[in-house]
């Protein structure tokens, strides 16, 4: 992943609409994984639409600093398929 917030934002703006897997630290020894679609980028946050399998679509927002500080990690599904 990129080294500055501006680079992270620019990379995500180019990938809006793609399927994504977000792995987030959810506390002590807990990890939350959410699979969804990167739907929108804003100046300080980005939005992921998540379908948890119950028919309803939820939105989760993350900040670019979450990626910079490695509180979350993201993987795009098109990159996973190529590996």
- Where are the strands (E) in the chain, listed by range? 19-25, 31-41, 45-51, 57-63, 72-76
Confidence check: pLDDT of 48 > 90: yes
Say how far apart CA 37 and CA 77 lie, in whole Å.
10
The pTM score is: 0.82
The separation between CA 51 and the C-alpha centre of its own chain, rounded to angstroms, equals: 14
Q: Structural domains in the chain?
A: 5-76 (2.30.30.100)
Percent of the chain scored above 70 by pLDDT? Answer: 87
Confidence check: pLDDT of 60 > 60: yes
């Amino acid at each position: 992943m990129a080294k500055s917030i501006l680079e992270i934002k620019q990379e995500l703006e180019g990938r809006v609409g793609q399927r994504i897997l977000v792995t987030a630290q959810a506390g002590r020894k807990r990890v939350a994984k959410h699979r969804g679609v990167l739907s929108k980028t804003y100046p300080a946050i980005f939005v992921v639409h998540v379908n948890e399998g119950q028919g309803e679509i939820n939105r989760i927002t993350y900040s670019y600093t979450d990626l910079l500080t490695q509180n979350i990690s993201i993987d795009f599904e098109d990159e996973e398929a190529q590996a």
